[in-house]
Amino acid sequence: MATTNPSFMNGVPELLVLRLLQGREMYGYEIVQAIREETGDVVSLGEGVVYPVLHTLERGGAISSERRAVGGRSRIYYALSPKGVSRLTELTELWSRITGAVQQVLVGGGHAGLV
Amino acid sequence: MATTNPSFMNGVPELLVLRLLQGREMYGYEIVQAIREETGDVVSLGEGVVYPVLHTLERGGAISSERRAVGGRSRIYYALSPKGVSRLTELTELWSRITGAVQQVLVGGGHAGLV
DNA sequence: GTATTATACCTTTCAGTTCGAGGTATGAGG
DNA sequence: CCTCATACCTCGAACTGAAAGGTATAATAC
């Protein structure tokens, strides 16, 4: 950890991948399309983003992989580990705190003086 | 400029600064502290972030500056221009769309099929 | 009178993330 | 047979934001 100085807004791809894997086991190519579809193309992470995230996550023990042949296709399915669950919780809370703080400023209207 | 490849999550400092200036004219040092205070220290942008943002914004015509002496202090006050207002609208909408999309995935629970 | 702190501005350097492009391989359909 | 969609992967470029350091002045403390 002690990630040096991570920008306060980062780690969203990681968050999305972990969340999707919480629902079911998925493979990389599938995750790429799921993100596009579930966000209505608002967020579109390419394979160049998703695959490295998966590898980092696996290296850190947050997910595990298993190669399977499905209909002649070779896919690598990823599953969330307990470590991944707590990491997901962590990131979700962080995301919540940050968006809340930003919202605070957006709504605050310049009259900071609230109780 | 042509967007090159801006990460979909960037531009939050710019958004916050514009929003604060919508309320009243402010100077850099003041903005740094205001962000810290209004977000309860959740978001803390240093001077090394805020000043460059102000300069970029001014170069782009989104804000205008005016040097004033206040109680022996020399401060540079910034004010939002019409261009800055529309930029603020733009960024606010983008922010809203993105956080909405992320929320969609976070809540979606894997059963994408909604009406 | 001088030293320290808080105000107020600024820039440069560094590191991390994300993006895009490119590269390999196989099964299915024309 | 050739092309397209599936499915995996990596490297290089680019941008952002963080930290640290640098200047100057007013107010306070000693």
pLDDT > 60? residue B101: yes
Smallest CA–C1' separation from B7, nucleotide: C18
The reply to whether A111 touches chain B by the CB within 8 Å rule is yes
Band (pLDDT 50/70/90 cuts) for residue B77 is very high
Q: Where are the domains of chain B?
A: 12-96
Q: Does B33 touch chain A (CB under 8 A)?
A: no
> Measured between CB atoms, does A94 come within 8 Å of chain B?
no
B12-96 to CATH, choices 3.40.50.300, 1.20.272.10, 1.10.10.10, 3.40.605.10? 1.10.10.10
| Nearest protein residue to the C1' atom of D14, measured from CA | B5
Q: Which residue has the higher pLDDT, A100 or A113?
A: A100
Q: Would you say residue A1 has pLDDT above 90?
A: no
Give residue B115's pLDDT band: very low, low, confident or very high (50, 70, 90).
very low
pLDDT at B35 over 50: yes
Q: Determine, for residues A39 and B8 on separate chains, whether the beta-carbon distance falls below 8 Å.
A: no
B50, two tokens:
């805020």
Protein fold of A12-103? Arc Repressor Mutant, subunit A (1.10.10)
SS in 3 state form for chain A?
CCCCCCCCCCCHHHHHHHHHHHHCCEEHHHHHHHHHHHCCCCCCCCHHHHHHHHHHHHHCCCEEEEEEEECCEEEEEEEECHHHHHHHHHHHHHHHHHHHHHHHHHHCCCCCCCC
Q: What is the mean pLDDT of chain A?
A: 90
pLDDT of residue A99 exceeding 90, the answer is yes
**Tens digit of pLDDT for each residue in A61-88?**
999 999 999 988 999 999 999 999 999 9
pLDDT above 80 (res B109): no
Q: Which residues contact A56 (CB under 8 A, 6 or more apart)?
A: A14
The answer to whether the Cβ–Cβ distance between A35 and B98 falls below 8 Å is: no
Contacts of B24 in chain A (CB under 8 A): 110
Q: Is the pLDDT score of B107 beyond 90? A: yes
pLDDT-above-70 percentage for chain A: 90
Cross-chain Cβ contact A104/B10 below 8 Å:
no
Q: State residue B2's pLDDT score.
A: 38
Number of C-alpha atoms within 13 angstroms, CB side, residue A67?
Answer: 3
For the stretch A8-27, pLDDT in tens is: 888 999 999 999 999 999 99
pLDDT band for A3, please (50, 70, 90 cuts).
very low
Give the number of other Cβ atoms within 10 Å of residue A20's Cβ: 21
The answer to whether B110 contacts A24, with C-beta atoms less than 8 Å apart, is: yes
